Structure 1
């Protein structure tokens, strides 16, 4: 084989590092936040995520006898709506909103709603690194603290609603997303 070379490998085994536990720094971080954050209410740890639901109409081929060439007219529509959700790990309380977009304004509406639903708690909300989570236009309420996950760790979010399946989704039986609003 032209250009091929053989490199001997060593018989010395490489050291195996113990696997790191995801989230192992979270209890210490929560204690640090508790000490630094003045307030009377308990700390409520919540995990937040969004999911997109919608429809895309797709053009398909159609069958006809051989000499004819049909015209298939189709209107491609793309309609989406977004579900924002935050789940509390201590008691399983789920706060959710259905909003039309994923942007800083809708994220602000969701954060305001969560804070209004838990006015006596100090909320620590864990988010992934989406751009609208880190928007400079977000105004945090006095009872909310945001924590951002490190990159490539979104699979560890308990509220990852984009990976779940809905057996009886209203989107499968309606002709338009506007009909469920």
Structure 2
């Protein structure tokens, strides 16, 4: 059996407005559109031996959580996995198909 603690983090690249040149006395008309790019790092660590598994995915939702669970089950196919996680919406989605060699345990709400 492998005890694993899972969490995900969001990494964001936020564009910044730049200066522009205009003739003296005129006012620039430039749209101030900030662009944002997000990536989510799903990670799980096994505390007894320090093994870390991670995936970088474009979103954090039930579908990407399913991809992460399937990948964890594949990487540790010969072991039974007890995965501890918080109760994020995509963790407790009703349509998650938990692999047979895995059990999910949830931390108490707001802990």
The interval holding the TM-score normalised by the smaller chain is 0.7 to 0.9
Measured on the aligned residues, the alpha-carbon RMSD in Å equals 2.1
Match of 2:98 among 127, 140, 144: 140
Find out whether 1:47 has 2:41 as its counterpart. Answer: no
Shift of 1:110: 0.3
Matches within 5 A, 1:1-181: 43-59=1-17, 67-153=25-111
SS in 2 for 1:107: helix
Deviations 1:109-160 (A, max 9, x none): 100100111111111101111000001111111110101111222xxxxxxx
Structure whose alpha-carbon radius of gyration is higher? 1
Hey, what's the Cα distance between the residues in 2 that align with 1:70 and 1:77? 20
Structure 1 stretches lacking a partner, 5+ long: 1-42, 154-181
SS in 2 for 1:132: coil
Hey, what's the Cα distance between the residues in 2 that align with 1:104 and 1:70? 44
Hey, what's the Cα distance between the residues in 2 that align with 1:89 and 1:107? 21
More helix by share: 1
Shift of 1:58: 3.6
How many residues are treated as equivalent by the alignment?
111
Structure 2 stretches lacking a partner, 5+ long: none
More strand by share: 2
TM-score calculated relative to the size of structure 1: 0.55
